[in-house]
Chain A
């Protein structure tokens, strides 16, 4: 069992309505981002000290909830900060930017981390496609092509041209090659059976987020079945799941914090300003969104005292076969002191019991 501490790098203290997207930049008052960063580093350093296997970052745009529009910037900074934990980028929204730039930056990041990089190459959530005006209608096909391109860029030993329907580059020769050979482990988001099976056919790791134990178990079963059909057997490390966690000295206190701050309520977090835009984006994604749209949880998966959370984690892992838990302990709405204590309790009392 491995643990990863996800840090969204929230910018605390803005006057903005966090239910809106995008959030007007005028709310980014001088100093707030730096303050948020200092707190995020405190948690990242603590996770490293507590023995987490990874610290993870994700790509999100135009919102104070996550100061990681290019998660590779924070990942690079983390790489020079963490003593033993690896860096997990979970993940890059591959269709939004130039995939060769992504391949180059990730290769450098693999060098910066000394080969301790884990990377999710994701299609991205629907609203992220508004950030750069990316075409969502053909995003599945464009994403799959970009994934193939990134892997070719990492593994082809000679300069080559890439001729695709969505990407065409006539000179590709990515330097440096990744430290991990043939390339860093790649996670593909698999929150639907079809995408879980795609991950298996691609021989990629499976990345789940915010799904129930029953749903995770079904997705992992589909992934394993498809992997076997493709002639390989995933290990526990091949399945990662992101969840919210909140650990407090008692179950009552933890439950009270969840209620008071709406902690882990993704239904409140996902927002596109115009509902028609939101519906159309979901339709553009093929009716079912790739990650969190269908089955948003209204609270964290793991909540309670350290004894309670230990049991919850054990049950979840037993039921699902997940090998790496990527856990969020901090969020914009949760006061920092509670987040810090939650992370520390998990590291000192939950990990030790598992």
Chain B
């Protein structure tokens, strides 16, 4: 695990409410939020990997950044351990072979999910499928960004992801509580 400095951030309790990134956490433009990177092994089925990671991470609850089926399986199988999920340019619902078991479970998943795509990413339309299947999904288009949102629009990424991690579904409400 590699960690970034913990500072105070609205709604997050440093040290207790760290965010888990499935993949490398360095380079994330999320200053003030403690992000822990977990690297899933690539050679196991997504569902098994998710279970192993959830065991490693403990009961949480956790906020998870991911993009593939592992993150979604974690939310589906261990919803009590997941506060919210951010999927950045996710591929889970479009990779062959399709994980029909996962797709069938998504309408029952109550975990708040933010799906981020760059507006200029040719794959941005894929975000619609998550919005249709997940009952508490926000499908966000980041203007000026292509396939790498955090690199192309770091300020927008930080603001939106930071706010979603802090407030999950209340993210829909504008203004400053």
Contact A160 B174 (CB under 8 A): no
Please give, as numbers and ranges, the residues of chain A lying within 8 Å of B128 by CB-CB distance.
Answer: 156-158
Please give, as numbers and ranges, the residues of chain B lying within 8 Å of A260 by CB-CB distance.
Answer: none
Which one of A152, A156, A164, A171 lies within 8 Å of B172 (CB-CB)? Answer: A171
Q: What string of 1s and 0s marks CB contacts (under 8 Å) between B142-166 and chain A?
A: 1110000000010010011000000
Judged by DSSP, the binding face of B is mixed
- Per the CB 8 Å criterion, the residue count for chain A at the interface is 17
CB of A166, distance to nearest CB on chain B (Å): 8
Using A163-B160, A170-B171 as known contacts, say yes or no to A158 and B139 having CB atoms under 8 A apart: yes
- A347 to B172: give the CA distance in the assembly, Å: 53
Residue A35 is within 8 A (CB to CB) of chain B in the complex? no
Which one of B116, B131, B142, B171 lies within 8 Å of A159 (CB-CB)? Answer: B131
Q: What string of 1s and 0s marks CB contacts (under 8 Å) between A142-159 and chain B?
A: 000100110010001111
Judged by DSSP, the binding face of A is mixed
CB of B135, distance to nearest CB on chain A (Å): 12
Residue A137 is within 8 A (CB to CB) of chain B in the complex? no
- A28 to B127: give the CA distance in the assembly, Å: 51
CB of B57, distance to nearest CB on chain A (Å): 28
Contact A158 B132 (CB under 8 A): yes
Contact B143 A161 (CB under 8 A): no
- A145 to B153: give the CA distance in the assembly, Å: 14
Q: How many A-B residue pairs have CB under 8 A?
A: 55
Which one of B141, B153, B156 lies within 8 Å of A160 (CB-CB)? Answer: B141
Contact A161 B141 (CB under 8 A): yes
Which one of B132, B143, B173 lies within 8 Å of A163 (CB-CB)? Answer: B143
Contact A158 B131 (CB under 8 A): yes
CB of A327, distance to nearest CB on chain B (Å): 37
Contact A165 B156 (CB under 8 A): yes
Please give, as numbers and ranges, the residues of chain B lying within 8 Å of A163 by CB-CB distance.
Answer: 116, 140-143, 153, 156, 159-160
Task: Report the interface size class on chain B.
Answer: 20 to 34
Residue B84 is within 8 A (CB to CB) of chain A in the complex? no
Residue A232 is within 8 A (CB to CB) of chain B in the complex? no
Contact B172 A162 (CB under 8 A): no
Please give, as numbers and ranges, the residues of chain B lying within 8 Å of A164 by CB-CB distance.
Answer: 142-144, 156
Residue B78 is within 8 A (CB to CB) of chain A in the complex? no
Please give, as numbers and ranges, the residues of chain B lying within 8 Å of A156 by CB-CB distance.
Answer: 128, 141
| Chain B residue at minimum C-beta to C-beta distance from A172 | B141
| Chain A residue at minimum C-beta to C-beta distance from B145 | A163
- A180 to B141: give the CA distance in the assembly, Å: 24
Residue B47 is within 8 A (CB to CB) of chain A in the complex? no
Which one of A157, A162, A165, A171 lies within 8 Å of B141 (CB-CB)? Answer: A162
20 additional A-B pairs beyond A148-B119, A170-B138, beta carbons within 8 Å, are A145-B144, A148-B143, A152-B141, A157-B128, A158-B131, A158-B139, A159-B139, A160-B131, A160-B141, A161-B139, A161-B141, A161-B160, A162-B143, A163-B116, A163-B142, A163-B153, A163-B160, A164-B143, A164-B144, A170-B174
A-B pairs, top 9 by smallest CB distance, nearest first, are A164-B143, A161-B140, A158-B131, A158-B128, A163-B142, A160-B139, A163-B156, A163-B160, A170-B172
25 A–B contacts from the bound complex (CB under 8 Å)? A145-B143, A148-B119, A149-B143, A156-B128, A156-B141, A158-B132, A158-B139, A159-B139, A160-B131, A160-B139, A161-B138, A162-B141, A163-B116, A163-B140, A163-B143, A163-B156, A164-B143, A164-B144, A165-B143, A165-B144, A165-B153, A165-B156, A170-B171, A170-B172, A171-B172
